[in-house]
């Protein structure tokens, strides 16, 4: 008898992945579909939905706990100040972690292929497949390859009696993990629409509570403690999400440029990420030199772009991380941030590696440092801007001609 043809499906229990189960059998000829759900900090209700749907479909279901691995990657992204077009990366960081976990299960279960329910218009198809196409397994994308629409999926689900309630994910497409919560779709697709408050779950309306000071401790660039309490990556992120979210910190409403060139309207919540990125950048400002900070901005931007693409294992990333790691050797210390009215700002920072001298910077000190005095800056001031002053003192040839013409006495008419 021929071997069983088996496929591992990235499974959420929502409309797209539910519809994919019978289609993988009918259209692609698979004998068995297994569902794999990866835990990167989603709400428990999502796992319950996945389990119930998998059971109703008769699909063997695997749940992989990848929270620690994902949390560590999120904190690593802080060392690179990873922001894409103004928001902290969340979904982009989660997808490679999820893809790797699904691949591991597929290989252990002797699957022939991997499948996802992503559309052909989004970023996630590329992030999943960047990981999967490095494996010996085939990659299947039913929604993209069959050109499925949500309307068709709803009709098909009804015809087949599939365990979905008309695509009951709600009005919006929502993706949650430890680091961020994204909300898109429905009326939010119109950039002129002002979102209702009910789209937010992690962040309260700003201004509802009194301001609060929070101290973040870093060790070699990595967040390690909150208000002096050492915490593991998952606990640290979850705690700051609740703490900063109560102050309305961490909302982003933006027009995002996807990898395929489409521009989409996205709304995000990311309280912990906002606090940690704000604090980390403030500490770097204290301990890094100007040259390090300026060059690192370029490195950080490239790191964030590769991470947005889901290419966290790209050779370039390894090279970028080498520079980032070198700069983080002295990014150890504490930063106090103030949470107030939906905003987070650094108000104090301290480190034994501070590239700072209070006596040198003080207006009350005549001597800058060592044998250097204020008067020594006179020579620098004379040279500063010298070339610009010299260039501005020269009159261009055209200007000379114009001046000559304007001063000539006009010839009297005969």
Residue 341, domain member (yes or no): yes
pLDDT at site 87: 95
What's the distance, CA 347 to chain centroid?
Answer: 24
pLDDT at site 166: 38
- pLDDT, tens digit, 9 for 90 and up, residues 196-254: 999 999 999 987 789 999 999 999 999 999 999 999 999 999 999 999 999 999 999 99
Q: What is the DSSP code string of 228-284? A: TEE--HHHHHHHHHHHHHTTT--EEEEEEE-TTS-EEEEEEE-HHHHHHHHHHHHHH
pLDDT tens-digit profile, the chain (414 residues): 457 899 999 999 999 999 999 999 999 999 999 999 999 999 999 999 999 999 999 999 999 999 999 999 999 999 999 999 999 999 999 999 999 999 999 999 999 999 999 999 999 999 999 999 999 999 999 999 999 998 999 999 999 999 975 344 567 889 999 999 999 988 999 999 999 999 999 999 987 789 999 999 999 999 999 999 999 999 999 999 999 999 999 999 999 999 999 999 999 999 999 999 999 999 999 999 999 999 999 999 999 999 999 999 999 999 999 999 999 999 999 999 999 999 999 999 999 999 988 777 766 665 556 677 888 899 999 999 999 999 999 987 776 565 555 555 556 555
pTM of the model: 0.90
Q: What is the DSSP code string of 6-19? A: EEEEE--SSHHHHH
Where a domain ends, among 124, 151, 172? 172
Are 367 and 318 in the same domain?
no
- Collapsing DSSP to helix, strand or coil, 173 comes out as strand
Are 111 and 251 in the same domain?
no
Are 278 and 379 in the same domain?
no
Domain count for the chain, please give it: 3
Distance CA 273, CA 202 (A): 12
Q: Which domain holds residue 23?
A: 6-172
Residues 6+ apart with CB under 8 A from 168: 15
Q: Is residue 166 within a helix (H) or strand (E), and if so which, with residue range?
A: none
Distance CA 414, CA 395 (A): 36
- Collapsing DSSP to helix, strand or coil, 137 comes out as coil
Are 314 and 372 in the same domain?
no
- Tell how strand 343-350 and strand 333-340 pair up: antiparallel
Of 15, 180, 148, 168, nearest to 84 by C-alpha is: 180
Q: Cα angle at 134 between 128 and 136, to 5 degrees?
A: 110
Are 382 and 339 in the same domain?
no
Are 163 and 232 in the same domain?
no
pLDDT at site 207: 79
Are 209 and 269 in the same domain?
yes
Are 17 and 129 in the same domain?
yes
CATH code for the domain of 272: 3.90.1260.10
Q: Just list the catalytic residues.
A: 16, 95, 124, 173
Are 256 and 237 in the same domain?
yes
């Amino acid at each position: 008898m021929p071997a069983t043809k088996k496929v591992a499906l990235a499974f959420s229990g929502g409309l797209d992945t539910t519809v994919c189960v019978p289609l993988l059998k009918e259209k692609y000829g698979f004998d068995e579909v297994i569902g794999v759900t990866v835990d990167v900090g989603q709400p428990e209700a999502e796992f319950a939905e996945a389990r119930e749907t998998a059971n109703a479909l008769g699909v063997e279901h695997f749940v992989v706990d990848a929270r620690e691995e994902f949390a560590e990657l999120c904190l690593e992204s802080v060392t690179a100040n990873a922001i894409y077009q103004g928001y902290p990366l969340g979904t982009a960081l989660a997808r490679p972690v999820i893809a790797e976990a699904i691949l591991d299960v597929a290989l252990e279960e002797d699957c022939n292929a991997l499948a996802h329910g992503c559309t052909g218009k989004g970023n996630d198809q590329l992030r999943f497949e960047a990981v999967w196409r490095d494996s010996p397994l085939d990659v299947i994308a039913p929604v993209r390859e069959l050109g499925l629409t949500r309307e068709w999926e709803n009709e098909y689900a009804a015809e087949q009696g599939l365990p979905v309630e008309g695509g009951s994910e709600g009005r919006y497409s929502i993706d949650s993990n430890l680091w961020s919560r994204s909300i898109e779709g429905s009326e939010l697709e119109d950039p002129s629409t002002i979102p209702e408050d009910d789209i937010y779950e992690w962040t309260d309306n700003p201004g509802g509570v009194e301001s609060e000071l929070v101290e973040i401790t870093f060790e070699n660039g990595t967040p390690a403690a909150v208000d002096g309490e050492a915490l593991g990556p998952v606990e640290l992120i979850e705690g700051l999400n609740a703490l900063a979210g109560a102050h309305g910190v961490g909302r982003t409403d933006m027009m995002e440029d996807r990898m395929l060139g489409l521009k989409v309207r996205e709304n995000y919540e990311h309280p912990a990420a906002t606090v940690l990125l704000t604090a980390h950048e403030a500490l770097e400002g204290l301990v890094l030199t100007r040259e390090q900070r300026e060059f690192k901005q370029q490195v950080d931007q490239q790191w964030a772009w590769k991470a947005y693409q889901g290419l966290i294992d790209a050779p370039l990333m390894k090279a970028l991380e080498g520079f980032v790691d070198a700069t983080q050797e002295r990014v150890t210390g504490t930063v106090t941030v103030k949470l107030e009215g939906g905003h987070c700002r650094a108000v104090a920072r301290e480190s034994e590696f501070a590239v700072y001298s209070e006596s040198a910077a003080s207006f009350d000190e005549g001597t800058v440092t060592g044998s250097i005095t204020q008067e020594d800056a006179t020579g620098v001031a004379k040279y500063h801007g010298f070339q610009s002053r010299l260039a501005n003192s020269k009159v261009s040839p055209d200007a000379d001609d114009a001046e000559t013409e304007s001063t000539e006495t006009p010839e009297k008419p005969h």
